[in-house]
Amino acid sequence: FYAGMVRKKNVLATMMQSFAITCLVTVVWMVAGFSIAFTNGNAFFGDFSRFMLSGIGEAWDKPFTLGAGTDAAVPTTVPETVFMMFQMTFAIITPALIAGAFADRLKFSALCVFMVLWSLLVYAPIAHWVWAPTGWLAGLGAADFAGGTVVHINAGVAGLVCALVLGKRIGYGTDNMAPFNLAL
């Protein structure tokens, strides 16, 4: 999708950025992101009991309880491994949405560093706030079934901040910035 929205000279770079984000966030999510987002911890940040997916395979075929041992515990109908993978799709899609804001403007190495840090320091804690039963917004009764808060507002604000910090694209207003292939 994003490759069709950029100039012809940036199509392959944009496709590679999306692929790299998928790879990076997958690893970051399994190493620490899931643990930060969905373990009990406190109202703002999960603990590291699932760091490197520690112990997640012990009951790989049985439903688990999200927030187990707390007053806000929520029994699920799926194994924790399935839940982790399902939530990982949102963790991947959210930074991919941000990528449109810095297409044509950010070096690949900077993109990689930014996405790792943003995933751990922004996305995972906000996912904890809203989707973990022990999160402070969940405790206030917030209900985000479709990702409006965790995914879309989060990505929109991050994209706006990136665009403001990076400034206008080089050649904006003078070069042809027409998208290469809108159908793509």
Question: Is residue 41 situated within a structural domain?
Answer: yes
Q: Which range (27-41, 51-65, 91-105) has the least confidence?
A: 91-105
Q: Is residue 184 part of a domain?
A: no
Is residue 182 domain-resident? no
Residue 172 lies in a domain: no
Read off φ and ψ for residue 98, nearest 5 degrees.
-65, -30
- The enclosing domain of 38 has a CATH number of 1.10.3430.10
Kindly state whether residue 171 falls inside one of the protein's structural domains: no
Which burial class, exposed, middle or buried, applies to 180 when counting CB atoms under 10 A from its CB (0-12, 13-18, 19+)? Answer: middle
pLDDT tens track for 96-127: 899 888 888 889 999 999 999 999 999 999 99
How many distinct structural domains can be found in the chain? 1
pTM above 0.85, yes or no: yes
Residue 5: partners with Cβ closer than 8 Å, 6 or more residues away? 14, 100, 103, 179, 180, 182
> Mean pLDDT throughout 126-150?
94
Query: What residue numbers bound the domain in which 66 lies?
Result: 1-166
Q: Provide the β-strand partners of residue 75.
A: 65
Lowest-confidence range among 24-38, 79-93, 143-157? 143-157
Is residue 180 assigned to a domain? no
